[in-house]
Structure 1
Amino acid sequence: MDVRDGTLEPVALMSFRFHFGLPQKIAALILLLFFAATLFVIGRTPLTESDYRYALCGREMWEKPAPAAGYFTTCGNMQGDGTLAYRAAALPLSIYVNTLRLEDWIAAKRNHTPADSDPVGGSVYDLRHQIVGTRYLLRVPFALAAVMLGAGLWWVTRRLFGNVGGAMSLLLYCVSPLVLRYATTPNNEILAAWGLYAVIYTAIGIAHAMYGPPRKWRPRIVLFTLALGLTACAHLLAAVLGLFASAVFMLYVAERRRTLVFPVLLVSAFGALMLVFASYTFRLGLFTYVFTGGAGRFTLDYMPALELVRDPLQLAVTAAAGIALVLFVLLRRARYFGNTVPLLVTLVLLPIETTQISSIPVVWAYPFLLTFVGGAFADAAETKQRKLFLAIVLTTLLAQGILCGTWLWVSVR
């Protein structure tokens, strides 16, 4: 069976067996260099008011939630924004601060002196000189999320399109200023992008696994539920779109097992809802704000996509996407399920503009766009014009690398 007609074998898209060969080592090296670049940017970028806000709200979520009636933190209910970024930004800080408190308590017991009730009290801004590496504690969780998204992108594209598609998608991802920008600051966008990508491709993996024994479904369903829940904690709209897309693709793939699709989705949606409930520390009044805050409201506009196309730092990616779209239309071998899925998701996400909160769905669409580009060029590289398209791939990567290097040079000066 072949992925091109949507009938991939159950274990082909998502196998838990992992062989760390040469392609995996190269991908790991690329991701390691990408992570080093994020650390470089983090170390050169001063803390902003937004950073301190994420730290303040996040620490209150971990250490003293619901300080005022009807509100989760002193920041209010984050205007409907998800809790995941706040918790991710503040978790290392909370661990660090509580470790200092524990050390002070142990020292006081050893010296038989009264322990200070709060030796490291105050906001992160007040403690910025006392806490070592505040920039890294706040921002590295998002760099790690970007690394995991890159790893997932490579895993999917290599399984679907081979080494050429996987390498092109991963390299374009790692030299993208858009990705680096959101990987080095606290935000929900990179977390929602990571979760949404995992949700859709895990759902497709479940649909393929339905042709096999039930024991192959369960770990995928657990992973799907976790991904959906984390996505909802980052951004409710991303989770809703991911659930809808999962239903469509699962119904298409699991042609002879469609009666099982909706029970799986209902169970997973309930589990994801419980994760969101847990993120609000099981406070029902605060949890209901998820549905009344308007985080899922959106409109359609061509401006987000136009801004991406007009971005000079995305010139190489935009050109590659244009060529990939032409290849998809003209090259019959490029029009199959593996390429159609990321194209459809990209076309759905690009025109979305949230109305109630500030969000960037273009970031959610970006890994799907790179998946489509990698797939189209991988198919073109199997034609008689292989050398020509490989040259285009190398030129695209070189151009995008130069643009990324220029952005790094300017942004950290």
Structure 2
Amino acid sequence: MLPDSNHALCIYQGLEQWKGGAIAGTPQSLRSEAATGVPSAGRAGHLRVRDGYDQDRSPLYYLIAAAPLLARPAVLPPDSRIGQLWMAAPYLFFGVMLGGSLWYVSRRLYGNAGGYIALALYCFSPAMIASAAGAQSLGELGAVWGAFGTVFTAIAVAHTLYAPREVVLWNWRRILLLALSLILAAGNQFSMIVLALVALLLMLWVAPIRKRAVLAIWATGCAVATALLLAAYFFQPAVFGQGMAHARWVDFEPHALTASLSYAHTFQEVFRGPPLMIAFPCALFTYLSWNRARYFGNTAPLLIAVMFLILALAAPTFPGQGFQLAALVFLFVFVAGVFADLLETRHGLIVTASLSGLLLASAVWNLLQLARLARS
């Protein structure tokens, strides 16, 4: 599949910036059909531009999209299969890293069973497969990986605050990881900045007796993330300031919450995978009716998923797609946690057989669909 006009324009602008040209997503970088050779994505409605500035993404998005082409052999034609794979490399990378992070976090929270349940749900999710392949992606997987990292890094940092250590110096690695996660999320989708507030609230929830330490770590992480965002503008303060002024930090349309089409679109995208369509209602019923399942490790991902679903409903177009994928990942964590608890009950064998059959059937069905697409 050849890149669409939006992807081609983003790659063009990213390459221009890498080569010392204009900063991507700014008035100086916008080009017409004559310059890019493709229809204008901004005019087609794929990019929301105000005064020449991309309202939804920072130059980081463009730089990531163009990065593989810096190392692409000159003899490799972009319309070849290998050339298309090369251009999809960022999406594949983020897809693999997000899957690895999901497995690692779920395994730490719920044990081996929880880790593999979450990974199986992720690997055979139609939405995740399409996004990792770059077939329906506008860079959301980078933002989703950043969102996932922001939430669980904030929780991990807060847990360390009960030890009597120097706050900032001891946690510098986690602070840097928190900053990298924030910039990856908000740099690819400005409206993901809501995660900065979410991270603060989670840290205060986990470590309520260390409020000053929480604020110090959170402020330091935000400051480092801001510096990294400035680096994406190649340390041009004037352009950075204009980009921030034109950014659409909040994308919430209340009237969309009353539109049935918004609900239909969101839930079709999030629950189009058969395993989650069946497993989530079972997990939610278990969570609500069983005290053992209602603990922080299950509650936090459920609340984050609900938040992203509300944001997706209130933004039915882009950036709602990024919110949908983020909600999906946290639903995987929640379902994995509840089913890991169920596996430890006296009904564990029945749960294992039912869940294994569901995941196996889904895997076979998805592989058959992919094989059919490959032949077409």
Q: TM-score range by the shorter chain?
A: 0.7 to 0.9
Give the Å deviation of 1:69: 12
Cα deviations by residue, 1:160-190 (Å, 9 ceiling, x for unpaired): 1011111010011001110011111152211
Give the Å deviation of 1:72: 4.9
Contact residue 237 and residue 297 of structure 1 kept, 8 A: yes
Contact residue 59 and residue 90 of structure 1 kept, 8 A: yes
Contact residue 56 and residue 319 of structure 2 kept, 8 A: no
- The structure-2 alpha-carbon separation of the partners of 1:79 and 1:225, relative to structure 1 and needing over 3 Å to count, comes to closer
Q: Which residue of structure 2 aligns with residue 350 of structure 1?
A: 309
Q: Which residue of structure 2 aligns with residue 241 of structure 1?
A: 194
Alignment of 1:128-147 (within 5 A): 128=78, 133-147=82-96
Alignment of 1:101-112 (within 5 A): none
Give % identity. Answer: 28
Give the Å deviation of 1:128: 3.2
Cα deviations by residue, 1:286-314 (Å, 9 ceiling, x for unpaired): 32323323243223537555435445741
Amino acid at match of 1:234: N
Q: Which residue of structure 2 aligns with residue 339 of structure 1?
A: 298
Q: State how far apart, in whole Å, the 2-side matches of 1:174 and 1:132 are.
A: 23
| Paired residue secondary structure (2:88) | helix
Q: State how far apart, in whole Å, the 2-side matches of 1:70 and 1:223 are.
A: 28
Contact residue 46 and residue 135 of structure 1 kept, 8 A: yes
Give the Å deviation of 1:325: 0.3
| Paired residue secondary structure (1:350) | helix
Match of 2:13 among 46, 57, 62: 57
Q: Which residue of structure 1 aligns with residue 157 of structure 2?
A: 206
- The structure-2 alpha-carbon separation of the partners of 1:289 and 1:47, relative to structure 1 and needing over 3 Å to count, comes to closer
Q: Which residue of structure 1 aligns with residue 35 of structure 2?
A: none
Q: State how far apart, in whole Å, the 2-side matches of 1:128 and 1:69 are.
A: 23
Matched, 1:88 2:42: no
Q: State how far apart, in whole Å, the 1-side matches of 2:214 and 2:102 are.
A: 25
- Normalising by the residue count of structure 1, what TM-score does the alignment of the two structures yield? 0.76
Matched, 1:71 2:47: no
Amino acid at match of 1:277: L
- The structure-2 alpha-carbon separation of the partners of 1:151 and 1:68, relative to structure 1 and needing over 3 Å to count, comes to closer
RMSD, matched Cα: 2.6
Amino acid at match of 1:208: H
Give the Å deviation of 1:406: 4.1
- Normalising by the residue count of structure 2, what TM-score does the alignment of the two structures yield? 0.83
Q: State how far apart, in whole Å, the 2-side matches of 1:86 and 1:142 are.
A: 13
Give the Å deviation of 1:228: 1.0
Q: State how far apart, in whole Å, the 2-side matches of 1:134 and 1:196 are.
A: 29
| Paired residue secondary structure (2:93) | helix
| Paired residue secondary structure (1:204) | helix
- The structure-2 alpha-carbon separation of the partners of 1:336 and 1:151, relative to structure 1 and needing over 3 Å to count, comes to same
Q: Which residue of structure 2 aligns with residue 365 of structure 1?
A: 327
Q: Which residue of structure 2 aligns with residue 392 of structure 1?
A: 354
| Paired residue secondary structure (1:80) | coil
Match of 2:106 among 136, 157, 170: 157
Q: Which residue of structure 2 aligns with residue 174 of structure 1?
A: 123
Amino acid at match of 2:114: G
| Paired residue secondary structure (1:296) | coil
Q: Which residue of structure 1 aligns with residue 140 of structure 2?
A: 189
Cα deviations by residue, 1:311-330 (Å, 9 ceiling, x for unpaired): 57412212111111001011
Amino acid at match of 1:84: L
Cα deviations by residue, 1:201-222 (Å, 9 ceiling, x for unpaired): 0000000011123354221111
My pick for the range that moved more, 221-230 or 66-75, is 66-75
Amino acid at match of 1:128: P
Q: State how far apart, in whole Å, the 2-side matches of 1:307 and 1:336 are.
A: 31
Tell which has more relative contact order, 1 or 2 (C-alpha 8 A, sep 6+). 1
Structure 1: unaligned runs, 5 residues or longer: 1-44, 101-119
- The structure-2 alpha-carbon separation of the partners of 1:48 and 1:84, relative to structure 1 and needing over 3 Å to count, comes to same
Amino acid at match of 1:334: A
Cα deviations by residue, 1:55-95 (Å, 9 ceiling, x for unpaired): 21221221143279962522553343333332112112123
Q: State how far apart, in whole Å, the 1-side matches of 2:194 and 2:265 are.
A: 22
Matched, 1:374 2:336: yes
Q: State how far apart, in whole Å, the 2-side matches of 1:271 and 1:139 are.
A: 29
Query: Which has the greater radius of gyration?
Result: 1
Q: Which residue of structure 1 aligns with residue 250 of structure 2?
A: 296
| Paired residue secondary structure (2:27) | coil
Alignment of 1:8-87 (within 5 A): 45-66=1-22, 71-75=27-31, 76-87=52-63
- The structure-2 alpha-carbon separation of the partners of 1:410 and 1:299, relative to structure 1 and needing over 3 Å to count, comes to farther
Amino acid at match of 1:272: A
Contact residue 72 and residue 286 of structure 1 kept, 8 A: no
| Paired residue secondary structure (2:22) | coil
| Paired residue secondary structure (1:351) | helix
Q: Which residue of structure 1 aligns with residue 171 of structure 2?
A: 217
Contact residue 118 and residue 335 of structure 2 kept, 8 A: yes
| Number of residue pairs the alignment of both structures matches | 341
- The structure-2 alpha-carbon separation of the partners of 1:303 and 1:331, relative to structure 1 and needing over 3 Å to count, comes to farther
Contact residue 305 and residue 351 of structure 1 kept, 8 A: no
